[in-house]
Amino acid sequence: MDTEQWHAHRVAKELDILFGRDRQAAGDFITVWRNKVHAQYMQKFEEQEEMERKLYGPQSFFYRVEHELYSP
């Protein structure tokens, strides 16, 4: 996710969209943002799962769930 100072031009523009009079523009902005964040989250989660599988092998949470090897 991007981080910028609160007074940056882009931040001011985004605030104007979010809190301005055009509710459709705000809704569209939020939808685009949610889709972007969701895609980033899914990518990072997949990377984390891959790393855990490499590090822990058959003791990995994901390996155990996939093979129905639940701990008591």
For residue 4, what are its two tokens?
A: 């910028």
Query: pLDDT of 2-41, one tens digit each?
Result: 677 877 888 999 999 999 999 999 999 999 999 999 999 9
For residue 6, what are its two tokens?
A: 């609160």
Composition of the chain by helix, strand, coil, percent to 5: 75, 0, 25
Query: pLDDT of 44-53, one tens digit each?
Result: 999 999 999 9
pTM of the model: 0.70
